Amino acid sequence: MPIYTYLHQHKLMSTIAPVFEQSSHFCRVLLAESYTEFLKCLRTPAFASAILGFPVIVYLFCGLVIDWGETIERSHQFWIIATSSIGAIGTGMFGFGVYVANERGQGWLLLKRVSPMPIIVYFLAKALMAVAFSILISCIILAIGHAFVSLQLSLVQSALLVVVVSLSTIPYCMIGLLCGFMTGPNTAHAVVNVLYLPLLLLGGIIIPFDVLPKFVQSIALFTPVFHSSQLAFKLIDTSLGYPILLHLLVLSAYSVVCVSLAGFFYSREKARTFG
């Protein structure tokens, strides 16, 4: 019996059809919103140059220009992973958080709120855009690495790096979102800037973790950057050996706490002027 006839006979069609229609509408809106979001950011020179440019420049300088002597092989791999992680952090915190804050200040978020678009789509699309940019950054860095040095990173390792980096963008989106809603629209950029560099330094991305003083190391263990970079360093067997589950748990906890707090600040702000 064809499924359509079966559903009709059991009067399930009237139940399933609206759900199906709603889901397909949701997906259609999400697709359009994500595509537009990506286009919008790609066409914004400040965004493209800062978010895309910074990790690539760091890689070109530290990964290619500086001669690390005997450790050159490992340093190529280290800088590929480190700069890809920098890309994910920057995209999440600046590309997601600061942009949401700006658009809230300019009234764009308010216009979205009064439209019939589910507001979750707005945030999902921004997160997808951030993930897409992280993937793009990793791919550019990997392509440069493979083109200019004999990078000893297999295709599987490269693919896994892209997956790890893209997923680790999410907690930074949530941190950026919290910064965006906790502070005013005009101060979000400054607050994220204040957080960004210490996070990079503590996470063992710019300065190797074992070089950091002991008390700094003990602080670093609680930062999300440490855990996301450790996940990435596992790909080249240079992690400190903590279990993957611990890293995932810490990053998930950061995401949940930040999104919950952001939700609280968002609902508090909703009643104010910059919607």
Partner 1 sequence: MNEEFVVDAMNIAKSYNNITALTDFSLQVSRGQRCVLLGPNGAGKSTFLNLVLGVLSVDQGSLTVFGKTPGHISVRRRTGSMLQISGIPSTLTVREHLKLFRTYYHQPFSTDELVHIARLEGLERRTFGSLSGGQQQRLNFALALCGNPKLLILDEPSTSHDVETRLALWDEVDQLTGTERTLLLATHNLQEAEKLGDRILIFHNGRVIADSSPEKLRSMIGTTEISAQTNVNVEVFESNQQVKRIEHVNSHLKLYVTEAESTVSQLLQLDPNLKNLAVQPASLQDAYLHLLAPTQVDEHYRTSV
Half-sphere exposure of residue 227: CA atoms within 13 angstroms, side-chain side = 23
Residue 65 engages partner 1 in binding (rule: CB under 8 A) = no
CB of 93 to partner 1, least distance (A): 20
Task: Count residues near partner 1 (CB under 8 A).
Answer: 28
32 binds partner 1 (CB under 8 A): yes
The CB-side HSE value for 75 (13 A sphere, CA atoms) comes to: 17
Taking phi over 0 as left and psi of -120 to 50 as alpha, with beta for the rest, 66 belongs to beta
- Which one of 38-46, 86-94, 173-181, 249-257 is the stretch in contact with partner 1 (CB under 8 A)? 38-46
Residues 221, 59: Cα–Cα separation, whole Å: 25
| Angstrom distances, CA of residue 103 to CA of 93, 111, 180 | 15, 10, 10
Decide: is 197 part of the binding site for partner 1 (CB under 8 A): no
Q: Which of residues 227-246 bind partner 1 (CB under 8 A)?
A: none
Separation of alpha carbons 56 and 84, rounded Å: 8
Cβ distance to partner 1 smaller for residue 40 or 74: 40
Note whether 270 binds partner 1 by CB under 8 A.
yes
Count of C-beta atoms within a 10 Å radius of residue 213:
8
- Report in angstroms how near the CB of residue 175 gets to partner 1 at its nearest: 23
Would you say 121 or 142 has its CB closer to partner 1? Answer: 121
Closer residue to partner 1 (CB): 111 or 194: 111
From residue 91 to residue 130, what is the string marking binding to partner 1 with x (rule CB under 8 A)?
A: ------------x-xxxxxxx-xxxxxx------------
Toward partner 1, which CB reaches closer, 117 or 139? Answer: 117
Length of the chain, in residues: 275
Residue 207 backbone dihedrals phi, psi, to 5 degrees: -110, 125
Among the listed ranges 21-29, 83-91, 142-150, 202-210, the one in contact with partner 1 (CB under 8 A) is 21-29
Helix (H, G, I), strand (E, B) or coil at 74: helix
